[in-house]
Amino acid sequence: MTEPDVLTRIDGRIGHITLNRPKALHALNLGMCEAMTHALLAWRDDPAVASVLIDHAGERGFCAGGDIRMIAESGAGDGAEARAFFATEYRLNHLLFDYPKPVTAIVDGIVMGGGVGISEPADVSIATERTTYAMPETGIGLFPDVGGGWFLPRLPGFTGTWIALTGARLKAADTVFLGIHSHYMDSDALEAFRLILASDPAYPADIADGLEGDPGEAPVEAHLDAIDRLFCFDRVEEIFDALEADGSEWALAQLAVLKTKSPQSLKVTLKQIRTGATLETFAENMAMEYRLGGRIIATNDFQEGVRAVVVDKDNAPKWSPATLDAVSEQTVEALFAPLADGELTFE
């Protein structure tokens, strides 16, 4: 008998959610988002549940994203299935963001896209030596959704802009240093964390503090000044020019990476990050991302990015427009415009 893609149960006084789709690196589908939402709503006012723990089965990764193939196939048609998925996923993100009980996420392994969306709102997020974090969406013609417009611009300086545009892959030393994850633990300490949490589920942060290890020096620290100087601009063209003018090995490496990304996605993402920084509520950000998501999935670049990276795996997308100057401001603005049939709310 096949197990469900998400396991939900109450262990003692802990509401326990385990992602259970290891062959797909626990990539989220509609059913998984619905199961997590159902459990969280049931536990929200249940006095028998003191806190929530989110983890994953197996050792291959926490969650590598969302069901990209389905989203692309839907986007090539009427987009209804993809929009339904976004609405459910984003409401789950908001539910976690505003959850009244402590939430702990153990991000032991790959955490990207949709995995970021269910772990970033957690009060306690534990990275290990196996953690790899990234928001790589500009490489498939998308944008860093699931709350990226809220969380990324609130990281130190302009590091969130750098992460969003380049899709930089970070290990635990960097994620804990930047505040993306709250704690570092060696993976062999996780069992002790779970055992102590079972006896004292109301205070996961105190337990994590007591078991916290040293992830080592953060490589990103050496580049903070450069990131703030080179990624502070409000136009992608200015960022490109600044990186080229800087001429350092690191700056030119970032420029080379950016040149592989969708020009349209780079412009959309920069506007998303700058706009998200000005919003007053997480719900407003999710409404903005819902508008974007429902539109960008029908674009050439998303369809082509998924083909190149996920389907054919030739990693040679043909972006259209192919250059930054060919992506008009009108095109970008249209993707952010209000919905004709009224806003979807995420309160």
pLDDT digits (tens, 9 = 90+) for 129-159: 999 999 999 999 999 999 999 999 999 999 9
- DSSP percent split of the chain into helix, strand, coil, nearest 5: 50, 10, 35
- Residue ranges of E strands in 37-186: 51-56, 61-63, 103-107, 110-112, 124-127, 132-134, 170-171, 183-184
Query: Which of these is catalytic: 61, 65, 113, 114?
Result: 114
Residue 58 pLDDT greater than 90, yes or no:
no
Q: What is the pLDDT of residue 347?
A: 74
What is the number of residues in the chain? 347
Q: What is the arrangement of strands in the sheet containing 132-134, beginning at the earlier edge strand?
A: 61-63, 110-112, 132-134, 170-171
pLDDT band at 261 (very low <50, low <70, confident <90, very high): very high
Token reading at 110: 């790959």
Please confirm, yes or no, whether 79 is among the known catalytic residues: no
pLDDT band at 2 (very low <50, low <70, confident <90, very high): confident
Bridge partners, 19 (sequence order) = 6, 56
The answer to whether the beta carbons of residues 310 and 68 sit under 8 Å apart is yes
Amino acid type, 240? F
Average pLDDT on 112-140 reads 97
Token reading at 30: 């509609």
Residue 59 pLDDT greater than 80, yes or no:
no
Average pLDDT, the chain: 96
Residue 160 pLDDT greater than 90, yes or no:
yes
Rounded CA-CA distance 236/148 in Å is 18
Q: What is the pLDDT of residue 203?
A: 96
The DSSP letter of residue 344 is P
- The model's pLDDT over 286-316, given as tens digits with 9 standing for 90+, comes to 999 999 999 999 999 999 999 999 999 999 9
Average pLDDT on 95-110 reads 97
Amino acid type, 37? T
Rounded CA-CA distance 126/10 in Å is 21
Token reading at 85: 């998925």
Q: What is the pLDDT of residue 214?
A: 97
Phi-psi region of 180 (alpha: psi -120 to 50; beta: other; left: phi over 0): alpha
Q: What is the pLDDT of residue 60?
A: 79
Please confirm, yes or no, whether 66 is among the known catalytic residues: yes
The answer to whether the beta carbons of residues 261 and 138 sit under 8 Å apart is yes
Q: Which residues, other chains included, contact 253 with Cβ-Cβ below 8 Å and sequence gap of 6+?
A: none
Q: What is the pLDDT of residue 187?
A: 95
Token reading at 243: 């990186």
Percent of the chain with pLDDT over 70: 100
Rounded CA-CA distance 56/291 in Å is 30
Residue 91 pLDDT greater than 90, yes or no:
yes
Could you please report the per-residue DSSP string of 179-241?
TSSSEE--GGGHHHHHHHHHHSTT-HHHHHHHH-------GGGGGHHHHHHHS--SSHHHHHH
Phi, psi of 5 (to 5 degrees): -70, -20
Please confirm, yes or no, whether 188 is among the known catalytic residues: no
Amino acid type, 80? A
Average pLDDT on 102-131 reads 97
Average pLDDT on 103-114 reads 96
Q: What is the pLDDT of residue 218?
A: 98
Average pLDDT on 50-62 reads 93
Query: Which of these is catalytic: 137, 284, 289, 304?
Result: 137
Q: What is the pLDDT of residue 344?
A: 85
Please confirm, yes or no, whether 347 is among the known catalytic residues: no
Query: Which of these is catalytic: 145, 284, 301, 304?
Result: 145
The answer to whether the beta carbons of residues 261 and 167 sit under 8 Å apart is yes
The answer to whether the beta carbons of residues 143 and 297 sit under 8 Å apart is no
Query: Which of these is catalytic: 15, 61, 66, 276?
Result: 66
Q: Which residues, other chains included, contact 113 with Cβ-Cβ below 8 Å and sequence gap of 6+?
A: 63, 64, 65, 66, 135, 136, 137, 144, 145, 146
Residue 36 pLDDT greater than 90, yes or no:
yes
| DSSP β-ladder status, 103-107 and 61-63 | unpaired
Domain 6-336 has CATH 3.90.226.10: yes
Closest by Cα among 141, 137, 154, 28 to 90: 28
